[in-house]
Amino acid sequence: MKLRPEQQAEIDALRSQSFQTRRATVPALEEILYKPLPVLDHGFVRVIDYMGDDSAIVQAARVSYGRGTKRVRQDAGLIRYLMRNWHTTPFEMCEIKYHVKLPIFVARQWIRHRTANVNEYSARYSILDREFYVPAPEHLAAQSKSNRQGRGEVLTGDEAASVMRLLQEDASRAYDHYEDMLNEDTEGNVLDAGRSGLARELARMNLSLNFYTQWYWKVDLHNLMHFLWLRSDDHAQYEIRAYAKTMLQTLKLWLPLTHDAFMDYRIGAKPLSSKGWAVVRKMIAGERVDFKSSGMSRAEWRELKQALNPDDSED
């Protein structure tokens, strides 16, 4: 990730400012405020603003006149209680705003989370940068054999080289032709005075889905956690997971008590179906249960065994 000097200067200016406020403030998050945290080859996540701290959740849960806080230990206990029992409204009382630079195909998955506010860079109005995503060699994976929706082995040798070359060349050429059709370069210089230039809203359609876009994305804590739960999961596509993992770090800085409860009751938790509980009860009673007697589908049985023996490597 590289910033242009004027972008860096704007960020530095923001980071050097300091105001007095009566609002709940989190020094650990202030530390990284406005700073671009790199993701993938050209992307980033920047925390732009936030509202609330761990106590704000407690305060809202108690609808209190003051901080709502008793002692840190009691706050932690209440937050764990709320998380365990799916009391979601107190978590909606915190809010965070990010500036994100991300490939368009990642943006298309991300935007499916509807309960958020988003303002995207407009390619009807402005010209996109010459920046596109190309996977690092270790992420250039083949289609999974077992999962129609996932990745398998990493590609190597000629096949890897060929894929890399195609991705690079096609995106480069697409951008060259984008500028050519616009009759304008990124700085706004007209290329050929004898031509009109295609409308921006049309020219952009020549760009491929690995080009980077950017947006402001603002979300409440409850919906942020739902996003992180789904997108930091192993079933999520690697590229969006990379963003989720980085944002999970910002959650830890922002709300350490909530982060702990979230790791235990969401990220580290797995639901157990009614059939699953029946199997587990028998196993604890010392009965032998196999796939056939479990009454489960093959996929469910595999998932249950994996949850019970997380160290067994199979995939």
The residues in 265-294 that bind a copy of itself, with binding defined as CB under 8 A, are 265, 267-277, 280-281, 283-284, 286
One residue of 41, 230, 253, 302 binding a copy of itself per CB under 8 A:
230
72-84 helix and 54-61 helix, angle to the nearest 10 degrees? 70
Helix (H, G, I), strand (E, B), or coil: what is residue 100? strand
Shortest distance, position 253 Cβ to a copy of itself, whole Å: 14
Residue 119 interacts with a copy of itself (CB under 8 A)? yes
One residue of 39, 45, 56, 251 binding a copy of itself per CB under 8 A:
56
H or E stretch including 45?
Answer: strand 43-51
One residue of 21, 146, 189, 313 binding a copy of itself per CB under 8 A:
21
Backbone angles phi, psi at 77, to 5 degrees: -65, -45
Interface positions, 22-51, toward a copy of itself (CB under 8 A): 22-25, 30, 33-34, 49-51
Is 266 part of the annotated catalytic residue set? no
Interface positions, 157-186, toward a copy of itself (CB under 8 A): 159, 162-163, 166-167, 170-171, 173-174, 177, 180-182
Q: Residue 244: which residues within 8 A CB-CB, separation 6 or more? A: 227, 228, 231, 232, 236
Residue 300 interacts with a copy of itself (CB under 8 A)? yes
Query: Cα–Cα distance between 124 and 240 in angstroms, integer?
Result: 25
DSSP at 191:
S
Number of residues that bind a copy of itself (CB under 8 A): 138
Shortest distance, position 214 Cβ to a copy of itself, whole Å: 6
Residue 70 interacts with a copy of itself (CB under 8 A)? no
One residue of 39, 58, 60, 251 binding a copy of itself per CB under 8 A:
60
One residue of 152, 172, 186, 191 binding a copy of itself per CB under 8 A:
152
Residue 72 interacts with a copy of itself (CB under 8 A)? no
Shortest distance, position 306 Cβ to a copy of itself, whole Å: 11
Shortest distance, position 249 Cβ to a copy of itself, whole Å: 18
One residue of 40, 79, 99, 102 binding a copy of itself per CB under 8 A:
99
Tell me how crowded residue 268 is: count the other CB atoms within 10 A of its CB: 8
State how far the alpha carbon of 291 is from the alpha carbons of 150, 284, 288, 300, in Å: 25, 16, 10, 10
Shortest distance, position 184 Cβ to a copy of itself, whole Å: 8
Interface positions, 209-228, toward a copy of itself (CB under 8 A): 209-210, 214-216, 218, 220
Taking a C-beta distance cutoff of 8 angstroms, is the pair 88, 81 a contact? no
Of residues 34 and 243, the one with the C-beta less far from a copy of itself: 34
Long-range Cβ pairs for the range 52-55 (8 Å, 24+): 52/24, 52/93, 52/94, 52/95, 52/221, 53/24, 53/25, 53/26, 53/94, 53/254, 53/255, 54/79, 54/255, 54/256, 54/257, 54/258, 55/24
Residue 15 interacts with a copy of itself (CB under 8 A)? yes
Tell me how crowded residue 40 is: count the other CB atoms within 10 A of its CB: 23
Helix (H, G, I), strand (E, B), or coil: what is residue 306? helix
Active-site residue, from 231, 241, 266, 288: 231
Catalytic residues: 231
